[in-house]
Amino acid sequence: MYQDKKVAVILPAYNAEQTLVKTYEEVAGQDYVDQIIIVDDASQDRTSEIARSLPDAIVHVHPENRGYGANQKTCYGLALEHGADIVVMVHPDYQYTPKLIPAMVSMIGNGLYSCVLGSRILGGRALRYGMPVWKYTANRFITFVENVLMGAKLSEYHSGYRAFSAGLLRRLTLDVNSDDFIFDNQMLAQILWLDQEIAEVSCPTKYFAEASSINFRRSLVYGIGCLLVALRFRLSRMGLGCCFLFRGMERRAPGGD
C-alpha cells in the first residue's frame, strides 16, 4: 500500500519464460506492491506454467493469441476488478528495471499526476544502453511530430513502462483501442485528450536477445499508426469530426483525476 492506496503491477507476457521469474522477483521486492498480475497471451513456450508457479501472483491465460493491446486490456481490467488504486505496467522481458516502481507510485499516490512514464530518452543514454540507431532516430522523429500535433512535450510516447491512477483508467475507453502495439499510443492520446498531464522519469533500459522487440516491418506499421493517431487528435481538437478514440470521454480541467 502507498498512503492507503492499493498498488497492482501488471505483467503482459508473451514468450517470456527466460525472464519472467527475474522480473517477478524484482517487482515483488519493491516497496508498496500489493498485487502482481500476469496475463499470458497464449505463449508458445512455458510462460503460463512458470507464471502459475510464482507465489501469490494472479495469473490469467488467453486461450488464443489476441495481441499486445488486448493483453493490456485484460491486465487493466483485472487490476481494477481486484481493487487497485494505482496500476503499474512492467514488461516481463526485464528490459525496464522494476526499481523505479516506488518512485512512479509515489508520484501518483501523492496526487501529483495520474500518469507517469518511464522514459528511455530522458538522460540521453538510450544509445549507450543499446537502443538501435534506427529505432532511436524513428522514436525521436515520431515523438517530435506527435508533440506538435497533440500539444505535449513528452520525451517519448513509446515506452512500455507506465503507471496510472485507477481513476484515470476508468475514464479511458480502452475497449475501442487496437489489440495490437498501437494500443500504447492510442492510450496516451486519450489521456492528453482529457487534458491530463503526463509525467516522465528517466529509465535505464537493457537490450538483449531475450528482450521482446518488434521487427522493422511491424515497427514501420506502428510508426505510421502513431502519426495517424496524432493527426486524428489534431483534427478532432480543431472540430473537424471526432475520432472514435475520443468519443464519450469527458474532458475536465488539467489536474483532475
Residue 202 CB burial class (10 angstroms; 0-12, 13-18, ≥19): middle
φ and ψ of 202, to 5 deg: -70, 130
Task: Note the pLDDT of residue 253.
Answer: 45
Q: Cite the DSSP H helix spans in 11-132.
A: 20-28, 47-53, 68-81, 101-109
| Model confidence, pTM | 0.93
Task: Note the pLDDT of residue 209.
Answer: 61
Sequence-distant (≥ 6) Cβ neighbours of residue 132 within 8 angstroms: 207
- Taking only the tens of pLDDT, the chain with its 257 residues reads 999 999 999 999 999 999 999 999 999 999 999 999 999 999 999 999 999 999 999 999 999 999 999 999 999 999 999 999 999 999 999 999 999 999 999 999 999 999 999 999 998 888 888 888 988 999 999 999 999 999 999 999 999 999 999 999 999 999 999 999 999 999 999 999 999 999 999 998 877 665 556 677 888 999 999 999 999 999 999 999 889 999 988 665 444 45
Task: Note the pLDDT of residue 252.
Answer: 58
Task: Note the pLDDT of residue 179.
Answer: 98
Task: Note the pLDDT of residue 218.
Answer: 84
* DSSP bridge pairs for 150: none
Task: Note the pLDDT of residue 251.
Answer: 67
Sequence-distant (≥ 6) Cβ neighbours of residue 133 within 8 angstroms: 127
The identity of residue 75, as a single letter, is: C
**Per-domain residue ranges of the chain:** 7-237
Residue 212 CB burial class (10 angstroms; 0-12, 13-18, ≥19): middle
Residue pair 192/106 in contact (Cβ under 8 Å)? The answer is no
Task: Note the pLDDT of residue 171.
Answer: 96
What is the dotted CATH code of the domain comprising 7-237? 3.90.550.10
Task: Note the pLDDT of residue 255.
Answer: 42
Radius of gyration of the chain measured on its C-alpha atoms: 17
Task: Note the pLDDT of residue 169.
Answer: 98
C-alpha to C-alpha distance for 97 and 81, rounded to whole angstroms: 26
